[in-house]
């Protein structure tokens, strides 16, 4: 007997609806035969890129790569030239899977292309690959350099999804609605593989809108997944729109993650809809490690206890283990167990640095309350910005801005934003007179990296505040700007 399948329902010929994107949907049987048709074209590849538009074809491509046992690299279709070039050279995919009508940028045109035909008829699926084999390579930002490829094995995906299903009573009867991008673990692993592993249904909105959420939750959908920016927008809308408030109130579960849901938005949603949003915490490298349980306490600002298979400890700044459950003593979250990644692609140095005695160091700081729930209180590194649920390294943006001829020196920070959580702020010493316009710098970053990484605010300074070592003192930037704005 081989290993248990990652997507068991694909081995039956179920006629139930699996996935719906707008007017287009597929049953499990169609998903299986369309994916099986791609398998022969994929199976000899070492890795494949998937052009991850929010569309059925992206999911079929993902299922085909998983069935073939070939690691898939989801590609954000809005990546800029610099970041895409990095991904292509770092992951070195042998081919790219796309929807037939998709236009891909030059960096991907050099690769052989395999179009996903939703009506194609494939045969039997190959035997289940080894659970330890890599399934996905997901790029995520760190504090230095370009994004790193996080290599996730099949075993991490199945262990995490089963743990979440147990925590939330998530079953084949659930219809999940969301509008998350399909190139990060939130949208792709939880949002697509979650329903598919359980035999349930996903209704994807294509792009986020309050109206779309209201329509789906007013219809068949039972659960909503979103980032806090989406809940912030829903909170404001639900206060004005009784139909939306009623639809949110009917849901079996509203789940927020990827960034901190503010206490105020949690309370506004509770007041307008009667729903207490369930929060969960995780990282690309560890998948989801903590979640409020359906039958457990839900409190604003807390992300629930560790999931069953996850080992989690809090470590103080001296390396001691925090035993206290007093909601006061802060420690860095370390995690271990079956949901962990295999390592960063091509970066054994970065992988070794991220681990301590077999535990993955998340860099997130938390307290533990008496019932075992964690409260996230910050990050060890201030050089990661959390904006709209995306994690953005300041170094990536600084490097991109330095390539603009009008930028002499630059520092990038995050500042609080009611909608995005944090927004990207650039502090620029101009190299041209007049200095480059803020919108031009935003366009420049959006072109090289991705639009969500563009600075939303630009300050111009005559010089950056530096210490004796020449390092920029980021905490002094606001004061320096006050004294030296042009």
Asked if 80 interacts with ligand MLC (CB under 6 A), we say no
Contact 309, 363 (CB under 8 A): no
Nearest to 412 by CA among 452, 385, 438: 385
Contact 72, 50 (CB under 8 A): yes
Q: Among 75, 102, 136, 185, which residue sits at the site for ligand MLC (rule: CB under 6 A)? A: 185
Cβ proximity to ligand AMP: between 201 and 256 the closer is: 256
Asked if 436 interacts with ligand MLC (CB under 6 A), we say no
User: Can you tell me the distance from the alpha carbon of 249 to that of 273, in angstroms, rounded to the nearest whole number?
Assistant: 5
Looking only at residues 241 through 260 of this chain, which bind ligand AMP when binding is defined by CB under 6 A? 257-260
Shortest gap between Cβ of 424 and ligand MLC (angstroms)? Answer: 10
Asked if 389 interacts with ligand MLC (CB under 6 A), we say yes
Segment lying near ligand MLC (by CB under 6 A), choices 37-45, 91-99, 182-190, 407-415: 182-190
Shortest gap between Cβ of 95 and ligand MLC (angstroms)? Answer: 25
Q: Among 154, 368, 375, 454, which residue sits at the site for ligand MLC (rule: CB under 6 A)? A: 454
Cβ proximity to ligand MLC: between 101 and 207 the closer is: 207
Asked if 303 interacts with ligand AMP (CB under 6 A), we say yes
Contact 88, 106 (CB under 8 A): no
Nearest to 201 by CA among 222, 180, 184, 217: 222
Task: Report residue 291: phi and psi, to 5°.
Answer: -155, 140
The rounded Cα 94 to chain-centroid distance in angstroms is 24
Asked if 160 interacts with ligand AMP (CB under 6 A), we say no
Shortest gap between Cβ of 54 and ligand MLC (angstroms)? Answer: 10
Nearest to 281 by CA among 218, 349, 365: 365
Nearest to 225 by CA among 268, 174, 270, 273: 174
Cβ proximity to ligand AMP: between 240 and 382 the closer is: 382
279, interface contact from ligand AMP, ligand MLC, none, CB < 5-8 Å by kind = ligand AMP
User: Can you tell me the distance from the alpha carbon of 366 to that of 363, in angstroms, rounded to the nearest whole number?
Assistant: 10
Shortest gap between Cβ of 220 and ligand AMP (angstroms)? Answer: 27
Segment lying near ligand MLC (by CB under 6 A), choices 58-66, 80-88, 352-360, 382-390: 382-390
Asked if 193 interacts with ligand MLC (CB under 6 A), we say no
Nearest to 232 by CA among 268, 207, 205, 204: 268
Asked if 282 interacts with ligand MLC (CB under 6 A), we say yes
Asked if 141 interacts with ligand MLC (CB under 6 A), we say no
Specify the length of the chain in residues.
486
362, interface contact from ligand AMP, ligand MLC, none, CB < 5-8 Å by kind = ligand AMP
Cβ neighbours around 485 below 10 Å, total: 10
Q: Among 222, 262, 362, 399, which residue sits at the site for ligand AMP (rule: CB under 6 A)? A: 362
Asked if 310 interacts with ligand MLC (CB under 6 A), we say no
Cβ proximity to ligand AMP: between 367 and 386 the closer is: 386
Contact 41, 81 (CB under 8 A): no
Pairing of strands 311-315, 331-336: antiparallel
Burial of 281 (0-12, 13-18, 19+ CB in 10 A): buried
Asked if 379 interacts with ligand AMP (CB under 6 A), we say yes
Contact 45, 236 (CB under 8 A): no
Asked if 227 interacts with ligand MLC (CB under 6 A), we say yes
Asked if 43 interacts with ligand AMP (CB under 6 A), we say no
Asked if 66 interacts with ligand AMP (CB under 6 A), we say no
Q: Among 429, 443, 481, 484, which residue sits at the site for ligand MLC (rule: CB under 6 A)? A: 443
Asked if 283 interacts with ligand AMP (CB under 6 A), we say yes
Cis ω before 434 (30° cut-off from 0): yes
Cβ proximity to ligand AMP: between 80 and 282 the closer is: 282
Cβ neighbours around 218 below 10 Å, total: 15
To 5 degrees, how large is the angle CA 430–CA 434–CA 440?
Answer: 75
User: Can you tell me the distance from the alpha carbon of 210 to that of 449, in angstroms, rounded to the nearest whole number?
Assistant: 28
Contact 454, 424 (CB under 8 A): yes
474, interface contact from ligand AMP, ligand MLC, none, CB < 5-8 Å by kind = none
Shortest gap between Cβ of 180 and ligand MLC (angstroms)? Answer: 5
Interface positions with ligand MLC (CB under 6 A): 180-181, 184-187, 208, 227, 229-230, 257-258, 282-284, 388-390, 442-443, 446, 451-452, 454
Interface positions with ligand AMP (CB under 6 A): 140, 257-260, 279-284, 303, 362, 364, 376, 379, 386, 391
């Amino acid at each position: 007997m081989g290993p248990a399948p990652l997507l068991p329902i694909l081995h039956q010929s179920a006629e139930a609806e699996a996935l719906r994107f707008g007017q287009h949907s597929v049953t499990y049987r169609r998903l299986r035969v369309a994916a099986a048709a791609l398998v022969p074209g994929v199976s000899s590849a070492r890795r494949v890129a998937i052009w991850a538009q929010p569309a059925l074809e992206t999911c079929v491509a993902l299922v085909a790569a998983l069935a073939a046992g070939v690691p898939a690299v989801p590609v954000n279709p809005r990546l800029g030239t610099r970041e895409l070039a990095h991904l292509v050279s770092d992951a070195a995919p042998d081919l790219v899977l796309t929807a037939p009508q998709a236009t891909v940028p030059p960096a991907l045109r050099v690769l052989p292309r395999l179009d996903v035909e939703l009506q194609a008829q494939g045969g039997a699926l190959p035997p289940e690959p080894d659970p330890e084999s890599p399934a996905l390579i997901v790029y995520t930002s760190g504090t230095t350099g370009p994004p790193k490829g996080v290599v996730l094995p099949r075993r991490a995906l199945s262990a995490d999804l089963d743990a979440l299903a147990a925590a939330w009573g998530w079953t084949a009867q659930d219809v999940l609605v969301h509008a998350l991008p399909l190139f990060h673990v939130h949208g792709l692993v939880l949002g697509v593989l979650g329903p598919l592993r359980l035999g349930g249904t996903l209704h994807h909105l294509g792009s986020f809108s309050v109206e779309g959420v209201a329509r789906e939750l007013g219809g068949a959908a039972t659960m909503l997944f979103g980032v806090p920016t989406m809940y912030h927008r829903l909170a404001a809308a639900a206060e004005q729109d009784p139909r939306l408030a009623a639809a949110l109130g009917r849901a079996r579960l509203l789940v927020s993650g990827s960034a901190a849901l503010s206490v105020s938005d949690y309370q506004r949603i509770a007041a307008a809809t009667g729903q207490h949003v369930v929060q969960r915490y995780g990282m690309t490298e560890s998948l989801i490690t903590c979640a409020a349980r359906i039958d457990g306490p839900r409190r604003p600002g807390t992300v629930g206890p560790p999931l069953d298979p996850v080992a989690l400890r809090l470590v103080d700044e001296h390396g001691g283990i925090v035993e206290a459950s007093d909601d006061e003593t802060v420690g860095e979250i370390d995690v271990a167990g079956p949901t962990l990644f295999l390592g960063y692609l091509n970066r054994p140095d970065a992988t070794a640095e991220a681990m301590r005695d077999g535990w993955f160091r998340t860099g997130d700081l938390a307290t533990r309350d008496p019932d075992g729930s964690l409260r996230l209180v910050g990050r060890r590194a201030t050089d990661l910005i959390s904006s709209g649920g995306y994690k953005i390294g300041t170094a990536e943006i600084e490097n991109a801005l330095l390539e603009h001829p009008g930028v002499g020196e630059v520092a990038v920070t995050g500042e609080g934003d009611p909608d995005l959580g944090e927004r990207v702020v650039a502090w620029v010493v101009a190299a041209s007179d007049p200095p480059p316009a803020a919108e031009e710098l935003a366009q420049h970053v959006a072109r090289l990296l991705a639009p969500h990484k563009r600075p939303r605010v630009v300050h111009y300074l005559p010089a950056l505040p530096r210490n004796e070592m020449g390092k920029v003192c980021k905490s002094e930037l606001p004061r320096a700007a006050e004294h030296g704005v042009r």
